[in-house]
Amino acid sequence: MTTQRRRLRVTGTVQGVGFRPFVYRHAVALGLSGHVANDSEGVLVEAEGPPQQLDELSRRLTEEPPPLARVATLETTQLPATGGSGFRIVESRSERAPAVAVSVDVATCDDCLAELTDPSDRRYGYPFTNCTNCGPRYTIIRSIPYDRPATTMAGFPMCDACAAEYADPGDRRFHAQPNACPACGPQLRLLEGDGRVVAEQGEALDGAVKALLAGKIVAVKGLGGYHLATDASDAGAVAELRRRKHRDDKPFAVMVPDLDAARALCRLSPDAAAALSSLRRPIVLAHRHPDADGVAPGVAPGLPELGLMLPYTPLHHLLLQGMGRPLVMTSGNLSDEPIAHTDDDAVTRLGPLVDATLAHDRPIHIRADDSVVRARPNGRTQMVRRSRGFAPEPLPLPRPARRQVLAVGAELKNTVSVAKDANVVASHHIGDLEHLAAHRSFLQATEHLCHLTGVDPEVVAHDLHPEYLSTKYALELDLPTVGVQHHHAHVASCLVEHGRTEPVLGIAFDGLGLGTDGTLWGGELLVADLRGFRRVGHLRQLPLPGGTRAIREPWRMALAWAHTALGPEAAARYGESADERWRSVLALLERPETPVTSSAGRLFDAVAALLGLRPRTTYEGQAAIELEAAAAGLELDAVAPYPASIEREGDLLVIDPSPLIAQVVAERDWGTPVAAISAGFHAGLGRTAVEAAAELAGHHGLDTVALSGGVFQNTRLTDVVVGACREAGLSVLVHEHVPPNDGGISIGQAAVAALSD
């Protein structure tokens, strides 16, 4: 019998993902001798045995790696056989600390799920089953090194059976820090609204299912916080949840038991299905089948999309099995406050909203909302909220950081990021900093992220807006500061995602962000790289009547655009009600001290209001979302693009949407369907933006366009722009893994501060 010895050099995401125990188990199963170790380049294996068995080991490492691992390369070298016996995991001395010592939270793996549903298994029906390949991580870690005493599992000493699994390199639970079983681990309890415990363990689960089936609202403690759950098919229960949560229209997410149930509700591309069933388990926004029932209309009123997710903890699996129908699972909070994650907070804040609470005694250390991904019509997906399942996974920087950076993000949809060496690491979604509770959460997240990543910031990067709480925090630290312009940060976040160092022509279509000239930007054309930028074009500026009130009241922007595009008399005529407020806003438009903006987001608001879709909003972006939704049934080129003009002002190109507005108003008066007007508007704005971008790119010798800013959550606009860029011979960078909205700002800030001179 021939015996060979081979060295296997494995690179990729192979550390901190259970790769060494995986190699160990397969090598032992194949009867090979040798050892496996981590080193600075990845994982190094030396294995000896029959060539067929060695081939099989290589095949398993590349084709069936552990769920969180990603093998980039596997190089094989022949070595002289040494004739040893046994296989060992070697603690390597040259081991360099990974960028983050902590994994993301991972959905229940198939092996654990099989145990959960096997009546003969000791973990049958146990809602906290986990292993090396799955379970809580980021949300339970208090400090590093990542060991059980440093997690919120510290209070649960392992029983003998669990301890034996933990110590056995051949076991799936080798060094699984949150390992637990019914004998030693966390337990469920059911509380009434007032916090009184009424049932425990299996009875608690049964009680919660019974309440949900009866149309009640139940708070459910999950991985990164509490959800508010109710029967998604029960219109009355859904309406009651809206009333109690003070949430008028913003869509609720729905949890369904499996992919088949998801497909029964929504159209899923292969990418969307893969995202939905991935171990990160984000909410996936996908188009619903028009005739699908099983979900009450009040779940996502008036929208063609539904936010779906699959169960990601054993408790979710058990709940959904008990229910046999979809569950609304929305963040456990009131309105836009941060999600509740401590038990006391849940009783205080959620108690009054719910009929019962399904809790347990494993504390959540860091809250993490569900992540949200949007399915694009072209089949790809786009990140909308990067949080649970993604934080704190590092994103590689295109060049090594020149300094250690803390970046504090924007005001809304806040995240914070740190940069060090080869990576930038973004926090979970923190939320809107205008809420006191979110501000507290911001402070905790900032400190925790620096601690987990070992970053000792040399500079702090912040937005230019002096009133953002994040900016104020940055300026109070005793550190050098780097102010990064909002839209430069947006474009930079897109460059990080694509590993791009050369300059691009950035199109930043956004809500509002402070510009370097003190006005509010938001429809910007920038020549930008990761070190700096120059503004080379923008949407025409116009007054923002009523400042921030104009954001919640799109009718104000409708009036401002009608005034700009059609003149004061036509604008006055357009105001059908022409009441006091209209006249006062018209007066504001004439006043020189009214702030001006070039925001694309506000232009979408204006068109939505001009079409009568949404004069006032109840959540951020609502008017634009509904304007896009109005065109949902139409192909991109179903309607000829409405015209817009491009003018030169000194060095700048200014896109003037006035002709677009004029046509929107005219078509509306002729009775053209809103769907067609929306499609014509999207096509016109997108194509004109690309026309301007192409001219500027040519002028500045650039061949690539990068799209960022919250407006590019609009997949219709994105697809129009991408198509027009390709026609113009330009490459396009589009967000996929980093949100185009303000959730990505801290990533861009961190990269700029880390790489600039």
> Which positions lie near Fe ion, rule CB under 5 A?
510, 742
383 touching Zn ion, by CB under 5 A: no
107 touching Zn ion, by CB under 5 A: no
- Min dist. Cβ of residue 105 to Zn ion (A): 12
3-class DSSP assignment, residue 306: strand
176 touching Zn ion, by CB under 5 A: no
Rounded Cα distance between 288 and 307, Å, is 9
213's contact among Zn ion, Fe ion, none, with CB below 5 to 8 A by partner kind, is none
What are 523's strand-pairing partners? 509
Q: Please list every residue from 703 through 732 that binds Zn ion, using CB under 5 A.
A: none
Cβ atoms of 426 and 387 closer than 8 Å: no
User: Judged by CB under 5 A, how many residues of this single chain contact Zn ion?
Assistant: 10
463's contact among Zn ion, Fe ion, none, with CB below 5 to 8 A by partner kind, is none
512's contact among Fe ion, Zn ion, none, with CB below 5 to 8 A by partner kind, is none
Measured between alpha carbons, how far is residue 544 from residues 102, 148, 550 in Å?
A: 45, 54, 7
Instruction: Give the nearer residue to Fe ion in terms of CB position, either 63 or 517.
Output: 517
- 3-state helix/strand/coil string of 475-495: HHCCCCEEEECHHHHHHHHHH
The alpha helices in 250-402, defined as continuous H runs, are 259-265, 270-277, 314-323, 343-345
3-class DSSP assignment, residue 71: strand
Cα separation of the two ends of the chain: 62
Instruction: Give the nearer residue to Zn ion in terms of CB position, either 160 or 593.
Output: 160
- Min dist. Cβ of residue 146 to Zn ion (A): 17
- Min dist. Cβ of residue 311 to Zn ion (A): 13
Half-sphere exposure of 40 (CA within 13 A, CB side): 3
Instruction: Give the nearer residue to Zn ion in terms of CB position, either 135 or 748.
Output: 135
Instruction: Give the nearer residue to Fe ion in terms of CB position, either 138 or 468.
Output: 468
181's contact among Fe ion, Zn ion, none, with CB below 5 to 8 A by partner kind, is Zn ion
Handedness of CA 354, 356, 357, 358 (dihedral sign): negative
Instruction: Give the nearer residue to Fe ion in terms of CB position, either 138 or 521.
Output: 521
- Min dist. Cβ of residue 115 to Zn ion (A): 8
- Min dist. Cβ of residue 131 to Zn ion (A): 3
- Min dist. Cβ of residue 416 to Fe ion (A): 16
Rounded Cα distance between 553 and 546, Å, is 9
Instruction: Give the nearer residue to Fe ion in terms of CB position, either 288 or 488.
Output: 488
State the Rg of the chain over Cα: 27
Q: Which amino acid is at 150?
A: A
Instruction: Give the nearer residue to Zn ion in terms of CB position, either 181 or 492.
Output: 181
Helix (H) or strand (E) run with residue 127 in it = none
162's contact among Zn ion, Fe ion, none, with CB below 5 to 8 A by partner kind, is Zn ion
Q: Kindly tell me the burial class for residue 123, based on how many C-beta atoms sit within 10 Å of its own C-beta (0-12, 13-18, 19 or more).
A: buried
112 touching Zn ion, by CB under 5 A: yes
Stretch that binds Zn ion, among 103-111, 278-286, 362-370, 515-523 (CB under 5 A): 103-111
Q: Between 122 and 141, how does the x/- string for binding to Zn ion read (CB under 5 A)?
A: ---------x-xx-------
- Min dist. Cβ of residue 554 to Fe ion (A): 18
Q: Which of 495, 564, 485, 487 shows the shortest CA–CA distance to 524?
A: 487
Q: Between 145 and 174, how does the x/- string for binding to Zn ion read (CB under 5 A)?
A: --------------x--x------------
Instruction: Give the nearer residue to Zn ion in terms of CB position, either 312 or 604.
Output: 312
Rounded Cα distance between 511 and 507, Å, is 13
Q: Would strands 188-192 and 197-200 be described as parallel, antiparallel, or unpaired?
A: antiparallel
Please identify which residue in 28, 81, 184, 676 interacts with Zn ion, judged by CB under 5 A.
184
Q: Which of 92, 77, 74 shows the shortest CA–CA distance to 35?
A: 92
Please identify which residue in 181, 514, 607, 753 interacts with Zn ion, judged by CB under 5 A.
181
Cβ atoms of 22 and 131 closer than 8 Å: no
677's contact among Zn ion, Fe ion, none, with CB below 5 to 8 A by partner kind, is none
- Min dist. Cβ of residue 748 to Fe ion (A): 10
Half-sphere exposure of 125 (CA within 13 A, CB side): 10
- Min dist. Cβ of residue 49 to Fe ion (A): 57
Share of the chain residues as helix, strand and coil, in percent rounded to the nearest 5? 35, 25, 40
109's contact among Fe ion, Zn ion, none, with CB below 5 to 8 A by partner kind, is Zn ion
131's contact among Zn ion, Fe ion, none, with CB below 5 to 8 A by partner kind, is Zn ion
Q: How far is CA 234 from the centre of its chain?
A: 28
- Min dist. Cβ of residue 627 to Fe ion (A): 18
- Min dist. Cβ of residue 487 to Fe ion (A): 7
Q: What six digits make up the tokens of 288?
A: 């619903």
What values do phi and psi take at 311, rounded to 5?
A: -55, 140
Instruction: Give the nearer residue to Zn ion in terms of CB position, either 176 or 589.
Output: 176
109 touching Zn ion, by CB under 5 A: yes
Please identify which residue in 114, 183, 436, 443 interacts with Zn ion, judged by CB under 5 A.
183
347 touching Zn ion, by CB under 5 A: no
Instruction: Give the nearer residue to Zn ion in terms of CB position, either 162 or 450.
Output: 162
Instruction: Give the nearer residue to Fe ion in terms of CB position, either 234 or 742.
Output: 742
**What value, to the nearest 5°, has the Cα angle with vertex 594 and ends 592 and 596?**
100
3-class DSSP assignment, residue 225: coil
For 402, residues 6+ apart whose C-beta sits below 8 A from its C-beta are 754, 755, 756, 757
347's contact among Zn ion, Fe ion, none, with CB below 5 to 8 A by partner kind, is none
239's contact among Zn ion, Fe ion, none, with CB below 5 to 8 A by partner kind, is none
- Min dist. Cβ of residue 407 to Fe ion (A): 14
Rounded Cα distance between 663 and 643, Å, is 8
Cβ atoms of 95 and 43 closer than 8 Å: no
Q: Which of 327, 364, 350, 357 shows the shortest CA–CA distance to 199?
A: 357
510's contact among Zn ion, Fe ion, none, with CB below 5 to 8 A by partner kind, is Fe ion
- Min dist. Cβ of residue 381 to Fe ion (A): 21
Contacts to Zn ion by CB under 5 A: 109, 112, 131, 133-134, 159, 162, 181, 183-184
